[in-house]
């Protein structure tokens, strides 16, 4: 038996980061099923015609549906979502991945784009919640 090289809880010690686990995948299963359905042009059309009616085809939680309607990607991550599924939604909207990703940072799209052009977010102070408290 090999031992973990770190306690599993340490995955929760990274600032502003949610690790996508098998458990979270279960929580978002129907949300993700909706996202993957958008890989079909006819489904994208149906979704655009009536978002709410389209969402009601899926056994997602009401919170998940509302977060989709709000394009609230931070909330969708909270509710179990993973970005690789969620970009099917932002792609459907014609958003760039940068716009979708930047929307979770509390910055405007322009601010986020400028930060990326300037070299991105520095890892300083971003490695460990525990260390930051020291």
Partner 1 sequence: MARITAGIATSHVPAIGAAIDNGKTGDEYWAPVFAGYDWTKEWIRDNTPDVVILVYNDHASAMMLDIVPTFALGFAEEFEPADEGWGARPVPTVINDTDLAGHIAEQLVIDEFDITIMNDIKVDHGLTVPLSLMFGQPSEWPCKVIPLAINVTQFPTPSGDRCWQLGAAIRDAVRSFPEDLTVQVWGTGGMSHQLQGPRAGLINPEFDNAFLDNLTSHTTALRHITRLEYLRQAGTEGIELIMWLVMRAALGKSVEELHRFYHVPASNTAVGHIVLKALD
Interacting residues with partner 1 (CB under 8 A): 1-6, 8, 10-11, 14-23, 25-26, 29, 32-33, 35-36, 38-41, 44, 73-74, 77, 82-85, 87-92, 94, 96-98, 101-102, 104-106, 112, 115-117, 119-123, 126-128
| Shortest reach from residue 131's CB to partner 1, in Å | 10
> Which residues are CB-neighbours of 33 under 8 A, at least 6 positions away?
58
Contact of 78 with 70, CB cutoff 8 Å? no
Provide the minimum distance between the beta carbon of 38 and partner 1 in the complex, in angstroms, as a whole number.
5
Q: Which is nearer to partner 1, 17 or 50 (CB)?
A: 17
Rounded Cα distance, 18 and 21, in Å: 9
Residue whose CB is less far from partner 1, 66 or 74: 74
CB of 49 or CB of 120, closer to partner 1: 120
Q: Is 91 exposed, middle or buried (0-12, 13-18, 19+ CB in 10 A)?
A: middle
Q: Is the four-CA dihedral 67, 113, 133, 8 of positive or negative sign?
A: positive
| Least Cβ distance, residue 21 to partner 1 (angstroms) | 5
Question: Which residue bears the tokens 């400028």?
Answer: 114
Residue 98 host element (H or E)? helix 97-102
Closest contact distance (angstroms) between CB of 37 and partner 1 is 10
């Amino acid at each position: 038996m090999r031992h973990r090289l770190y306690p599993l809880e340490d995955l929760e010690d990274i600032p502003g980061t949610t690790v996508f686990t098998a458990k979270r995948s279960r929580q978002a299963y129907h949300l993700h099923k909706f996202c993957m359905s958008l890989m079909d042009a006819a489904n994208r059309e149906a979704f655009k015609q009536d978002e709410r009616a389209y969402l009601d085809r899926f056994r997602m939680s009401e919170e998940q549906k509302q977060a989709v309607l709000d394009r609230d990607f931070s909330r969708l991550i909270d509710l179990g979502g993973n970005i690789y599924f969620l970009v099917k939604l932002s792609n459907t909207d014609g958003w760039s991945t940068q716009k979708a990703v930047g929307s979770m940072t509390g910055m405007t799209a322009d601010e986020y784009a400028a930060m990326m052009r300037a070299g991105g977010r520095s890892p300083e102070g971003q490695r460990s919640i525990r260390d930051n408290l020291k």
